[in-house]
């Protein structure tokens, strides 16, 4: 593949993630009282991925995937279950149309990291990606404390609030370490195994995603 075509693919991905980020901002503006939502990782992850693809920062892209992959899958399953059972109700949103938009865009947002993984599974995850992942975790931790209320439990930094209560000693102090050990390291291992398998088997995807190689 020629260099120009490859660069255009990176820019296409960057533009797509940027578009998704704009959709999220419009959604939160329509909802109105959910401005705290932008501090949830999955609501600003598209911007991080847009930056990573635009500047072709492969380690940074892998870092974002490290942070979000497992949490994304768990959150998507829980959200889908809550919606299907009627547990999840946006009582503050009077319009059914806006509720539908909110639910549809939330599901879309929780597929963003998976899409980035499909697009970059042939890129080797490095130790530098782990460093970037930890920086992202600290950013999430600091912004949640400075700009959000404990009630909303943004990124689950706070041990008690709207969703649940945890009685774990020093939970907030341990939060960055817990996220790194329980989410980042397993996701990094998954990415490493996918990369190694792609090198051995060279599978072909029916998408232009297969163009993203090391």
**Which residue ranges make up each domain of the chain?**
3-211
**Count of positions (residues) in the chain:** 214
* pLDDT at residue 4 in the model: 44
User: What is the mean pLDDT of the segment spanning 4-33?
Assistant: 80
pLDDT mean across residues, the chain: 84
Phi, psi at 160, each rounded to 5°: -145, 150
Q: What ranges in the chain are assigned the alpha helix state H? A: 3-31, 41-54, 58-85, 96-109, 112-120, 127-147, 171-179, 185-201
With 80 as the cut, is the pLDDT of residue 24 above it? yes
d(CA 53, CA 181): 26
Residue 43 structure tokens = 């609501």
Residue 57 scores a pLDDT above 80: yes
214 confidence band (pLDDT: 50, 70, 90): low
Highest mean pLDDT among 8-12, 44-48, 100-104, 109-113: 44-48
Residue 1 has pLDDT above 90, yes or no: no
Share of the chain above pLDDT 70, in %: 81
Question: pLDDT tens across 147-160, in order?
Answer: 988 888 889 898 87
pLDDT digit string, tens, across residues 161-211: 666 677 788 899 999 999 999 999 999 999 999 999 888 765 554 344 444
């Amino acid at each position: 593949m020629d260099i120009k075509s490859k660069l255009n693919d990176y820019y296409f991905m960057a533009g797509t993630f940027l578009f998704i980020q704009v959709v999220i901002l419009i959604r939160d503006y329509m909802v109105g009282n959910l401005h705290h939502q932008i501090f949830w990782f999955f609501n600003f992850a598209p911007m991080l991925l847009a930056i990573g693809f635009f500047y072709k920062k492969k380690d940074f892209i892998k870092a974002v995937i490290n942070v979000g992959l497992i949490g994304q899958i768990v959150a998507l399953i829980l959200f889908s279950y809550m919606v299907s059972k009627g547990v999840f109700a946006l009582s503050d949103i009077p319009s059914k149309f806006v509720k539908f938009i909110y639910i549809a865009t939330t599901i879309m947002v929780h597929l963003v990291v998976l899409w980035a993984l499909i697009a970059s599974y042939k890129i080797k995850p490095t130790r530098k990606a782990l460093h970037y992942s930890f920086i992202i975790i600290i950013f999430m931790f600091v912004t949640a404390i400075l700009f959000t209320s404990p009630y909303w439990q943004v990124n689950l930094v706070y041990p008690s609030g709207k969703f649940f209560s945890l009685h774990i000693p020093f939970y907030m102090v341990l939060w960055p370490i817990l996220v790194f050990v329980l989410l980042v390291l397993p996701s990094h291992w998954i990415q490493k195994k996918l990369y190694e398998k792609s090198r051995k088997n060279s599978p072909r995807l029916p998408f232009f995603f297969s163009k993203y190689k090391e």
